[in-house]
Structure 1
């Protein structure tokens, strides 16, 4: 049995499709799970409840923690440490391996221009501090020998993404679709890596089913030739047959907009990731598994067709 905690999020559905290659017993856990594969086992649960986490994990060989809480620092500070603790305890009790789908918010700002699995942990944002703390909880358990687990990290992602969890999809694709200018943060002339969601799901499934991949951190497959914001907008505009117009939002403006638009308040502290090159290096994964990430133009075309 392989179980996805947070099956209703952006990664849950493509991950369920990929896991079908490894098992015919995939348990989907969310408040209102829906089948992806015919043989999927649906398990409705409120994962903020410790007891329901244990019930969801029981009987699992591998557990994938891919839940996405609302993009609100107060929610993150309250829910993430508790969920990580409960998931770890449940995995230890039922002898299940744990795969944690993570982001890069915990890395030091100086590492953003070239992030690897060895980049220093020194978050400069409140959200980054939450992510650093829960990753540390997990790796401490691994070091103590009581848990078999791995961390799979992705850059900001794009592609046929469920919900409004992709900044690139929301700021560029959907704005151009509406005949509006694309929005970008910080600087449109800095390079920015994005992880293609189907590649992230495929990579997560591979790691979860590779015994010697555990007890370490992996960057999920991401194409190395990052584009600038301006180049991304031009690429979307080209294939959508839309004018590639762009508006750049500086940090001070995002903070001011946050007075009226709550999500902008939450995004303002993350703009440091857009005022410099943001290069996500997945060569460790690509070399180990001989994996070739999807090129950006192909990913953009898929976003346009299925986003």
Structure 2
């Protein structure tokens, strides 16, 4: 049995499909789980409750933690570490392996222009401190409690039907509907994005590769170095719309944040968008002979266009 905690999200839907290569027993757990594969086992549980977490993990060989909490610092501070603690407890109790789907918030500000698995953990944001605590809990359990776990780390992601992919929200969804694209920080800085189907395929592979455990892995991400301006131009040309955009500066985000909680929460993360943001996945790509999807191909698929040209 392989179990996804936090099913139904942008990554977990693809992950459920990819896991069919490795097992016929897939359990999807969330408050309102939905079938992905015809024979999925659904568990409708509130994972904020310890007993529910343990119930979800019981009988599992591999557990994928892909939960996405509401983008709210108070929610993160009150729920993330508690959930990770309960998941570790469940995995140890039922002898399950853990695959933690992670982001880059815990990296030092100066690591953002070129991130590798060895980059310094020194988060400059409050949300990053929460994520660093998650990783510390897992590492401690690996070292002192014999937890078998792997950390699958992802850059900002995008992809077909990605409801929370930042490239989708700011650029692709807008140009697809004839609206003006948006960008954060500086449109002249490089920014890496992980293609969600690639992330899911790689996460499933890591979960089913014994030698991958006990390590951090950057999920496969195109090594192309495109700036915001280049992403917008490419998307506009694909969608045959005017190449224009609105720049969401920190000041504008702060103003909008007076009325919009999510925009307010984005302000502390703008250090990532005011400098180059490059995510190196060489370790994974070389180890598993994996070629990440190009931005042209990934954006065409996300815009539901013919991908043959790319």
Same fold by TM-score greater than 0.5: yes
- Give a deviation string over 1:105-131, Cα, whole Å, max 9, x none: 000010000000000001011110100
SS in 2 for 1:113: coil
Mapped partners of 2:243, 2:78: distance in 1: 40
Aligned residue number for residue 197 of structure 2: 198
Mapped partners of 1:26, 1:225: distance in 2: 35
- Give a deviation string over 1:230-288, Cα, whole Å, max 9, x none: 11101110111111101112112211221112111011111111111100000000000
Aligned residues: CA RMSD: 1.0
Structure 1 residue 176: Cα displacement: 2.0
Structure 1 residue 204: Cα displacement: 0.1
Aligned residue number for residue 286 of structure 1: 285
Aligned residue number for residue 34 of structure 1: 34
Instruction: Give the gaps of 5 or more residues in structure 2.
Output: 306-310
SS in 2 for 1:29: strand
Aligned residue number for residue 211 of structure 1: 210
Mapped partners of 1:161, 1:268: distance in 2: 25
1:44-193 → structure 2 map (5 Å cutoff): 44-163=44-163, 165-193=164-192
Aligned residue number for residue 308 of structure 2: none
Size of the aligned set, in residue pairs, is 305
- Give a deviation string over 1:158-185, Cα, whole Å, max 9, x none: 011443x111101111222333221111
Mapped partners of 1:162, 1:179: distance in 2: 18
Contact 1:91 1:97 in 2 (8 A): yes
Instruction: Give the gaps of 5 or more residues in structure 1.
Output: none
Aligned residue number for residue 10 of structure 2: 10
Mapped partners of 1:175, 1:198: distance in 2: 21
Aligned residue number for residue 297 of structure 2: 298
Superposed structure 1 runs of 4+ greater than 3 Å apart: none
Contact 1:5 1:65 in 2 (8 A): yes
Structure 1 residue 92: Cα displacement: 0.3
Instruction: Name which of structure 1's ranges 246-255 and 20-29 shifts more when overlaid on structure 2.
Output: 246-255
